[in-house]
Homo-oligomer: A and B are copies of this chain.
Amino acid sequence: MKNAIGIDVGGTNIRAARVNEKGTIELIQTCASTDQGPEKLVEILTEMIDTVKDGETIGIGLAMPGPVDETKGCITLSSNLKGCANYPFVDVLQYKTHLPVSLINDANAAALAEACVGAGNDCDIVYYMTLSTGIGGGLVINRKVYNGIHGYAGEVGNIVIDPAYPDAINNLAPGAMESHESGTALVRRAKECGLDVMHAGHVFELADHGNEKAKGMVVEFQHRLARLIATIIMITDPACIVLGGGMMQSSSYFLDEVRSYCDALIQPTLRPVDIRCAQCEQSGVIGAAMVYLGELV
């Protein structure tokens, strides 16, 4: 059975896995990441690839944070990986491994994993959104990631969701979704209201226990997420929306409401909206491998 190697490069860890045509991980290895620049990173990656590849390996998918330039085979911005912007990872790794190499944005890798072997695997068009410290998305059409011209398709965290809240945070647009409704943003705003919370899940729990400030925040979150999803539907009209990321651990506190508010914003013929919870564990490595296996699984 053919396989591909999927690699997920994060700021903390690097995971490399051999994934087979069925989407099953046959072998996975985890190493600490590096802040010593791209040459050191390539050294680590080459060793990991040697460990997990075998004679049936047809390609290597490399998932990295940041916008991907597919033509040049590099990421064009790197906030978590020092010095890695514009480094020609694809060319260098192809030269060293003698295998085809593709670069994919990490949110897009998760999207591809869900579309190929996860919650959206029965759908031709899947929109995946991650709700986590940040908010990002990815459109998968017939098991291929839609990247856009500059690799910025899926930057949905930067969509202005409410112009009445114009604070610009982290170089995002004033009023951007991520600035107000990401996990990090919910915690920040809860603390500004005097709430004692450690993570976004606490905000949902406090609301559930009747805290009025938290309840207000949760209702606002539900409406804004519904609005963002409805917006995505009006532009991409997918068969389903898949939601992943850490905030989905609290989905029982918001998902039914989001579905209901979203239905009120889309055309009657599109109701009920099909919003699903992500299913893949290790979606980064599986999605990266699916660049080569997506049409086979």
The answer for the CA separation of A76 and B267 in the assembled complex, in Å, is 12
Q: Is the CB of B270 within 8 A of A152?
A: yes
Q: Is the CB of A150 within 8 A of B270?
A: yes
The answer for the CA separation of A77 and B235 in the assembled complex, in Å, is 18
The answer for the CA separation of A123 and B124 in the assembled complex, in Å, is 25
Q: Is the CB of B234 within 8 A of A158?
A: yes
Q: A152-B267, A160-B230, A270-B150 are in contact. Are A139 and B235 (CB under 8 A)?
A: yes
Q: Is the CB of A158 within 8 A of B266?
A: yes
Interface centre among A124, A174, A234 (most CB of B within 10 A): A234
Partner of A265, one of B146, B154, B173, B231: B173
Note all chain B residues with C-beta closer than 8 A to A173.
Answer: 230, 264-266
Q: Scoring A residues 121 to 140 as 1 if CB is less than 8 Å from chain B, else 0, what string do you get?
A: 00111000000000001010
Tell me the nearest residue of chain B to A162, going by C-beta: B163
Q: Scoring A residues 258 to 280 as 1 if CB is less than 8 Å from chain B, else 0, what string do you get?
A: 00000011111110000000000
Q: Is the CB of A235 within 8 A of B154?
A: yes
Note all chain B residues with C-beta closer than 8 A to A124.
Answer: 149
Q: Counting CB contacts under 8 A, is A193 at the interface?
A: no
Q: A77-B269, A264-B173 are in contact. Are A237 and B150 (CB under 8 A)?
A: yes
Interface bin, chain A: 35 or more
The answer for the CA separation of A77 and B159 in the assembled complex, in Å, is 30
Q: Counting CB contacts under 8 A, is A1 at the interface?
A: no
Q: Is the CB of A234 within 8 A of B149?
A: no
Partner of A148, one of B125, B148, B156: B125
Note all chain B residues with C-beta closer than 8 A to A137.
Answer: 235
Q: Is the CB of B235 within 8 A of A153?
A: yes
Tell me the nearest residue of chain B to A123, going by C-beta: B149
Note all chain B residues with C-beta closer than 8 A to A230.
Answer: 159-160, 173
Q: Is the CB of A231 within 8 A of B152?
A: no
Pick 21 A–B contacts, CB within 8 A, sort by A.
A77-B269, A124-B149, A137-B235, A141-B146, A148-B238, A149-B238, A150-B237, A152-B237, A152-B267, A153-B237, A155-B234, A155-B267, A156-B234, A156-B235, A158-B266, A160-B230, A163-B223, A173-B265, A231-B235, A232-B235, A236-B236
